[in-house]
Amino acid sequence: MSRAPEQPKDPIRWCAALALVFWLACLPYLTVVAKPYFDEIHYLPAARELLVLGEFTNREHPLVGKELLALGIALFGDNPWGWRLLPSLFGTLTLFAAMRALWFATLSRFATLAYGVLLATGFHLFIHARIAMLDIFYLAFLALAAWHFAGAIRQPEQGRWRLALTGIALGLAMGAKWNALVVAMLPGLAFFFARVAAGRRRLFRSRRGAPVPGTTLIEAALWLGVVPLAVYAATFLPAFFFRISPITEGLVYHHQFMLSQQEQVLKPHPYQSTWEQWVLNVRSIWYLYEPVDGVQRGIMLIGNPLTMLLGLPALAWCAWHGFVRRHWAALGVTVLYVASLGFWIFAAKPVQFYYHYALPSMALLAALALACDALWQNGRRKTALAPVIGSVLVFAWFYPIISAAPLTGPDSFAVWTWLASWR
């Protein structure tokens, strides 16, 4: 008799351990800047108003991120811990959920753990897990959605509750920041086209076929279409109860106002950039560079200089294997990258910034993990490990300038600003 195929062991404990190490790395100097910095100056006042339902400010953005910042203030106080501890926990959740998503997509221990290391040391996640901005919250909810959608496909006997959680997470992601809008459509579209490709005669009522056997297209439309929209709408409920400037004209009118605010022509900003610069990692943003308590400190947002570039040929590899060889995980990360970056290529927003590349960079690093996994499976293990180890070393070198660690003086930035456009 032939032996049963070997079942790969779920690395969930290693995923949890890696997430814990990431969180511990976020804690040093988390509260050393005792005043709001960069875009915290917009979102923290809005969170304070939410706590007392005073004035509805920062109306151009949805509420979930600010509601969670308000929760942090309520739990831990209106201080740097209250502002930034919850973002650090959501950053840790993002890392763990992203690893779980790739595990269910590939059943590869190496790809899963390599992705965790690459993502933890890719700069974007680390920096946004340490600042009271909205970005970390939408990333966390999208990672949760990806985890449970991939889990539903891999384990269809758990399909119903996993699809339900996917829908809830998608609604919260959209409610955190509109960056999630296009990506939130992908699970529903993937389910629809997979079911069409299965060739079922009763397209809407059949329970057979990919991607989740046992779930009809009608039920999937509920979990992946109706539920996200309902959850998203519910997140605006507090906005109807502000004492000053509440929503009085209804959600449709309010969204027209939000869109007009997003599309208005803004003054040029010294940190604005274009999508080509994001892809090549040639434009930085200085979230902080000033003396704090008499010591020079800085936080420079760029992507990991090694993996942001190595990820580009890896993405091309994923596109080829995804579209030509039907490597579904590779196809998924390719579509995610193209959709999340394409949103900004065509968005009618005149001034854009590098932090909009946070989500595409997550897909890019997943592509790099898949390419490294292919090398690992082919026996080229040293080559497969090189980008992962290199990412850790580059992260360690840049740690002082992305973590607000003490620097030697005002000119210290020159150690890390390898390009003039990073200055």
**pLDDT tens-place string over residues 3-44:** 555 568 999 999 999 999 999 999 999 999 999 999 999 999
Q: What is the mean pLDDT of residues 208-232?
A: 92
pLDDT category, 315, cuts 50, 70, 90? Answer: very high
The confidence score (pLDDT) of residue 3 equals: 57
The reported pLDDT for the residue numbered 84 is 97
Domain spans of the chain, in order of start = 20-37+92-131+265-423
Q: Which one, of 91, 98, 109, 9, lies nearest residue 376 by Cα?
A: 109
**pLDDT above 70 coverage of the chain, percent:** 97
Percent of the chain with pLDDT over 90: 81
Give the confidence band of 266 by pLDDT, cuts at 50, 70, 90: low
Would you say the pTM of this structure is higher than 0.85? yes
More confident residue, 265 or 393: 393
* 311-316 mean pLDDT: 97
- Per residue in 70-106, pLDDT tens? 999 999 999 999 999 999 999 999 999 999 999 999 9
On the question of pLDDT at 1 being above 60, the answer is: no
> Which sign, positive or negative, has the C-alpha torsion 158, 322, 391, 110?
positive
At residue 326, the pLDDT reads 87
Evaluate if residue 136 carries a pLDDT over 60.
yes
The pLDDT of residue 265 is above 90: no
Whether residue 401 has pLDDT greater than 60: yes
Give which of 328, 375, 385 is closest to 118, Cα–Cα.
385
- Over residues 154-192, the pLDDT tens digits come to 999 999 999 999 999 999 999 999 999 999 999 999 999
Whether the predicted pLDDT of 402 surpasses 80? yes
Cα angle value 335/123/389 (rounded, 5°): 90
Q: How confident is the model at residue 51 (pLDDT cuts 50, 70, 90)?
A: very high
Q: What is the residue-averaged pLDDT of the chain?
A: 93
State yes or no: pLDDT of 2 exceeds 70. no
Of 3-17, 37-51, 232-246, 403-417, the poorest mean pLDDT is in 3-17
